[in-house]
Structure 1
Amino acid sequence: MKKWMIYGTTGYTGELIAREAVNRGMSPVLGGRNADKIRPLAEELSLEFQAFPLDKHAAAQLEDIDLVLHCAGPFQVTSEPMIQACLLAKTHYLDITGEISVFEWTHSLHARAAEKEVILCSGVGFDVIPTDCTALKLKEEMPDAIELALGFDSDSGISPGTFKTMIQGLGSGSMHREDGILKAVPIGRQHRTIDFGRGSRSAMGIPWGDVSTAFYTTGIPNISAWIPMPKPQVYSARLMGAAGPLLATDWMKEKLEKQVEKRVKGPDSEVRANSPAYIWGEAKNQEGVIKVARIRTANVYDLTVYGSLEIVRRLLIEKVEGGYYTPAGLFGSVLVESLPDSGTFEIDTFYPR
């Protein structure tokens, strides 16, 4: 029987995944940096655990591990040492990041991963399973698309880990892909109206992971990502952009992260059950024809649990060639439709007048 690990189970999302894994009859090894923090959950769930830092000795801890689901953020700090350890140990690597820099770096390791017969797939949670599948669905519907916009709308709460990841990105502005190249955009500069699935709303461009991953999934050269944002808040975001140098300082980030630790807790099960996510995508070709795809899914955090465990399950039983993959690149656009509480894609077509 293959052995796999969840690294980062002392965090909000990692613990949710561990509990659901046991509910499904799975037996992951729990991993993390601090044995005293891991032990209580491991004993409660009757699971094996390993405590080790992500340093040059980490690969030795993975020698008998076939797959790691990495849940310990911020991933721009932790993903590189874990991936290096996985490549040395020939252990498949998954994570639940949404950070563009992580996706780009992981993609750069494709040849090395293929040589080692190791699968590298970042973003096996809400970041970016539903939007990645939407991107591929639109590519299937419109093979000649040259523009792609993706986004989501949800009333979901936020976990401490996600909040800390957002803090790490303060001051960096937004990002989109233009003619295949990632380009920075001042936050608040991109603004439009979008119907994500429950009526038209003001929306703002954000540096979501799909501006990286959707390009590798579809090859579409121009990609942007969007969330609902009232116009006054878009204008406020523009003003905050001017404070970027201050927000980007280590001093400010450290202050904000301490406040998160004191004040922020992840959403409870009732909040998650009553806050589904609405996923939207729009593709356009040279002739101006537009395809719009929409799908409703489970809550942001529940989908991360469902999606990551589904990909783990499949990789433990299916033979896949080594290399870098996106979630939809691994298992197709139908992956999101197969997850609990997900609907099916609805496609609309609009022709130029």
Structure 2
Amino acid sequence: MAESIWILGATGRTGRAAAGLLQQRGIAPVLVGRNAARLRALAEELGSDFVIANGLDDMVARIRHARPGVVLNTVGPFMVTANPLIDACIAAGSHYVDLGNDMGVVPAVLARDAEATPVGVALVTGAGFGGAASESVVVRLCDGMPPAAKVRTDMVPSIEIEEGTLGEAFAATLLTGMPGVPGGGRYQARRISNGRIRPAGIGSRRQKLTTPDGHEVSSGLMPLGELAAAQRASGAPEAEAASAEAPTGPLRALFPLAEVFLRFGPLRRALIRRLAATRVSTRPRPREYSWAHARVEWADGRVREGWLRLGDASEATVRFAAETSVRLAEGKGTPGAFTPAALFGPQLAEACGGRYFD
């Protein structure tokens, strides 16, 4: 019998989609959020129970009391929500999954391995397209190989935009930056050189790539948690993580000026509120597929390169999150702190609809 799965932020886009996917698999997750009317309507639609939690502190208290089997956290910014929820999960003996994919989240979750292991809890971070996809390619390329010398990942998402507002969590993730994260500034990218985290310009070290279906894209460095995942999977002392969504041209040139203004707390909070209320129109995804790419080099000159093809990147995120949660609920995980492919192998992506290309 699988253990219960709680979805935090269940009425948001990702949470709602994950709940629907679990329901299709015959699993009734417990829906957790702050809007009672929306929770009740979704719970009636899916035949699920729901828990009203008025903010992060209330979620923490309810997890400690109810001790669910698995907690799927879809509530950003994950730099704010991850650690308090992990504290609660470790105390309650609950497995934890999140979608975090920046250098302020992934290393912080992985650093809690020693706390999770003795109590039999699995902590899994980066369980979305941004995180699990490129990591899966690296794990596959490095299977049976010695530690690598260099690794670079590139994510090429293709996303259909739904009409609506951006929302506070997304806006805060964009504008809060990475305060206190070592190796660079609050609004900088990161790379790993000689085994140390170092600063890099957002959008720097651009490379042109051609996807297996013939699309030409340009990818530049971003402060992605995939950097930590790729370095951990490959053992490489030189690592980079890039995205086709990295800003280019005049927009990239504005980053140093924007950083000066965003350091002022009241201004930053006002801009977050304004951005959160911004409405976006429906936009079809620009390509049929989303892609994740990795290139791994070894000291003896060997090079391996590979791609992972998925559909809409948002849908892929939901599939990774749901599949990871189900496997943990079924007792298939291992205690400790992990990224998804490190725990379940590159086959996880195939279970989520992915296909590899060499």
TM-score (norm 2): 0.86
1:84 aligns with 2:81: no
1:131 aligns with 2:134: yes
Q: State whether residues 182 and 211 of structure 1, in contact with CA within 8 Å, keep that contact through their aligned partners in structure 2.
A: no
- Between 62-71 and 199-208, the greater mean CA deviation after superposition: 199-208
Aligned to 2:183: none
Q: Distance in 2 between matches of 1:32 and 1:250?
A: 27
Alignment of 1:125-204 (within 5 A): 125-140=128-143, 142-157=145-160, 160=167, 161-169=169-177, 172-197=187-212, 198-204=214-220
SS at match of 1:100: coil
Can you give the 5+ residue segments of structure 1 that lack an aligned partner in the other structure? 348-353
Aligned to 2:57: 55
Q: State whether residues 172 and 248 of structure 1, in contact with CA within 8 Å, keep that contact through their aligned partners in structure 2.
A: no
Aligned to 2:119: 116
- Between 146-155 and 259-268, the greater mean CA deviation after superposition: 259-268
SS at match of 2:217: strand
Deviation at 1:169, TM superposition (A): 2.1
Alignment of 1:1-353 (within 5 A): 1=1, 2-52=3-53, 53-55=55-57, 58-62=60-64, 63-140=66-143, 142-157=145-160, 160=167, 161-169=169-177, 172-197=187-212, 198-228=214-244, 233-234=248-249, 236-264=251-279, 271=284, 275-340=288-353, 342-343=354-355, 345-347=356-358
Deviation at 1:129, TM superposition (A): 1.2
Q: Distance in 2 between matches of 1:167 and 1:275?
A: 30
Q: Distance in 1 between matches of 2:11 and 2:58?
A: 22
CA RMSD for the aligned pairs?
A: 2.6
Deviation at 1:72, TM superposition (A): 0.7
Q: Distance in 1 between matches of 2:324 and 2:217?
A: 33
Q: Distance in 1 between matches of 2:59 and 2:208?
A: 50
Deviation string 1:214-267 (CA, Å, 9 cap, x unpaired) is: 22233222211122369x924641342343121343334323332333334596
Aligned to 1:350: none
1:42/1:248 Cα in 2 relative to 1: closer, same or farther (>3 Å)? Answer: farther
Q: Distance in 2 between matches of 1:222 and 1:266?
A: 40
Aligned to 2:182: none
Residue identity matched to 2:217? R
SS at match of 1:114: helix
SS at match of 1:127: helix
Deviation string 1:173-219 (CA, Å, 9 cap, x unpaired) is: 11112222222212243223223443443321111111112222332
Deviation at 1:68, TM superposition (A): 0.4
- Between 328-337 and 155-164, the greater mean CA deviation after superposition: 155-164
Residue identity matched to 2:326? R
Residue identity matched to 1:132? E
Can you give the 5+ residue segments of structure 2 that lack an aligned partner in the other structure? 179-185
Residue identity matched to 1:221? P
Q: Distance in 2 between matches of 1:275 and 1:14?
A: 24
Q: State whether residues 201 and 229 of structure 1, in contact with CA within 8 Å, keep that contact through their aligned partners in structure 2.
A: no
Deviation at 1:163, TM superposition (A): 4.6
Residue identity matched to 1:315? L
Deviation string 1:55-88 (CA, Å, 9 cap, x unpaired) is: 2882454434111011111111111111111011
The number of residue pairs the alignment matches comes to 342
1:266/1:179 Cα in 2 relative to 1: closer, same or farther (>3 Å)? Answer: farther
Deviation at 1:50, TM superposition (A): 0.9
Deviation at 1:89, TM superposition (A): 0.5
1:131/1:57 Cα in 2 relative to 1: closer, same or farther (>3 Å)? Answer: closer
Q: Distance in 2 between matches of 1:135 and 1:164?
A: 30
Q: Distance in 2 between matches of 1:153 and 1:57?
A: 34
Deviation string 1:33-63 (CA, Å, 9 cap, x unpaired) is: 3434422322332211112233288245443
- Identity score, percent: 26
Q: Distance in 2 between matches of 1:116 and 1:266?
A: 46
Q: State whether residues 173 and 185 of structure 1, in contact with CA within 8 Å, keep that contact through their aligned partners in structure 2.
A: yes
Runs (4 or more) in structure 1 with deviation over 6 Å come to none
Q: State whether residues 217 and 326 of structure 1, in contact with CA within 8 Å, keep that contact through their aligned partners in structure 2.
A: no
